[in-house]
Amino acid sequence: MQTIDNPFVRFKNVQKSYDGETLVVKDLNLDIAAGEFVTMLGPSGSGKTTCLMMLAGFETATHGDIELAGRPINNIPPHKRGIGMVFQNYALFPHMTVGENLAFPLKVRKMEPAKVEEKVRKVLDMVQMLAFIDRKPAQLSGGQQQRIALARALVFEPELVLMDEPLGALDKQLREHMQYEIKHIHENLGVTVVYVTHDQSEALTMSNRIAVFDDGIIQQLADPVTLYEKPDNAFVAQFIGENNRLNGTVESVVKSVATVKLDSGHMVKALSINNDGKGSRTMLSVRPERCVVSAKKSSSMSMLDARIEELIYLGDHIRCRMNVAGDDQFIVKVPNTSGHLGLEIGANLYVGWKTDDCRALDYR
């Protein structure tokens, strides 16, 4: 795993077990630089939230060390770590006004009243909620409550903010809007953010780097572009974005290009990324938007016979479900550039892609 000189957050050989037998987090090594926005992404039960809870101090590591700004924090209680937290359920005090909710963490730190009011008004202005300072949480919408929860996490100016599925309860449009809000606040403040979600589009939108978790292990740690364009293995390819997969056996590898015999018998070429070479099983990964539909074969592409099974008009593109090499769930996103593409259900055509857009990954 990539190491960073003088990381602000460091997980060093961290393991976590709840029953003494099964490891929920397996030998985690992760460095996070000051000012980074790092997202822990993965399905339920992958270990991402457990990692966040250990960093916050709500869970204790079974093995290994967690460091913050160069000092071990394993034995420091949560309230002394100086970390801001934003939860999915907001965790606002219902009997307090917005202003009182934000003032609470400052008063606990025994800050003088004038300074408390100044900081509360400043952070409310930043999240565009100053006009709601005297309202109770019950008088706010879900999106407004989430803004207040975010403001409360930022009001005492922590160097690290942890967010656990903070937008999960919001509707799609509001969730997307809040993604940009959080991204812009992070960019303006320069605070370090560790964010947990199972929503891959959310992770791609906001993060500097994404750690993709599965079965307690980071499968890949990279920036959003690299994760999407160059997945290291089959799990990452399937989990990040939409992906077509075709299974086969590697026939040969020459200069990083694998010739693969698909289970259907077709022969195609792909970049040899992460497989065991000749004779090994592999999964080919190719994104729907990198595929083209054509009435004629092209010598510059890998091309297979295809039959259109379904067409869905989505405005800027047509989602074309095809039967390719025995897979009737093969998706091609055909750009709507002419207004009428002439595609028809049942038509027999060809689907193809460039070798550089197809990756031969480990089979799983």
What is the Cα–Cα distance from 308 to 346, expressed in whole angstroms?
5
* 4: in domain: no
In this prediction, residues 342-346 reach a mean pLDDT of 85
Domain total for the chain?
Answer: 2
Tell me what percent of the residues of the chain surpass a pLDDT of 90: 58
- Residue 303 in any domain: the answer is yes
Pairwise pLDDT comparison (226 vs 143), residue with the higher score: 226
Of 187, 212, 234, at which residue does a domain stop?
Answer: 234
Confidence of residue 230 (pLDDT cuts 50, 70, 90): very high
Position 340 pLDDT exceeds 60 = no
Judge if 262 and 198 occupy the same domain.
no
Domain ends where: 183, 214, 234?
A: 234
Last residue of a domain, one of 195, 214, 234: 234
Together in a domain, 264 and 136: no
For residues 206 and 116, state if they share a domain: yes
234-259 average pLDDT score = 92
Full-model pTM: 0.88
Compare 214 and 340 and report the one with higher pLDDT: 214
Residue 226 counted as domain residue: yes
What's the mean pLDDT when you consider all of the chain? 90
**What pLDDT sits at residue 69?**
92
In a domain, 276, yes or no: yes
- Give yes or no: residues 228 and 295 share one domain: no
Domain assignment present for 3: no
Are residues 135 and 48 part of one domain? yes
> Both 25 and 168 in a single domain?
yes
In the chain, % helix, strand, coil (3-state, to 5) comes to: 25, 35, 35
- Residue 108, burial from CB neighbour count under 10 angstroms (0-12, 13-18, 19+): exposed
- Residues 257 and 313 occupy one common structural domain: yes
* CA distance readout (Å), 264 to 81, 248, 306, 326, 357: 57, 8, 13, 6, 20
CA 145 to chain centre: 23
Q: Is residue 62 a part of any domain in this protein?
A: yes
How many Å separate Cα 137 from the centre of its chain? Answer: 29
State the pLDDT at residue 40: 96
Residues 326 and 289 grouped into a single domain = yes
The CATH number that applies at residue 175 is: 3.40.50.300
Pair (19, 82) in one structural domain: yes
Average pLDDT over residues 283-294: 93
Residue 186 has a CB neighbour count (10 Å cut-off) of 20
Report yes or no on 30 lying in a domain.
yes
- CATH of residue 254's domain is 2.40.50.140
- pLDDT tens digits, residue range 248-278? 999 999 988 999 999 999 999 999 997 777 8
Domain assignment of residue 2, yes or no: no
Would you state the pLDDT for residue 142? 83
pLDDT in tens, 116-163: 899 999 989 888 889 999 999 889 888 888 888 888 888 888 889 999
| Tens digit of each residue's pLDDT (9 = 90 or more) over 6-36 | 899 999 999 999 998 899 999 999 999 999 9
Confidence at residue 314, expressed as pLDDT on a 0 to 100 scale: 86
Confidence band (pLDDT; 50, 70, 90) for 287?
very high
- The helix (H) or strand (E) run that includes residue 253 is strand 244-254
105 and 220 fall within a common domain: yes
CA 81 to chain centre: 26
Q: What band does 338 get if pLDDT is binned at 50, 70 and 90? A: low
On the question of pLDDT at 339 being above 60, the answer is no
Which domain, by its residues, includes 330? 242-362
Looking at the structure, tell me whether residues 15 and 63 fall in a common domain: yes
Eight-state DSSP code of residue 236: H
The H or E element containing residue 108 is helix 98-108
Q: Are residues 124 and 270 in the same domain?
A: no
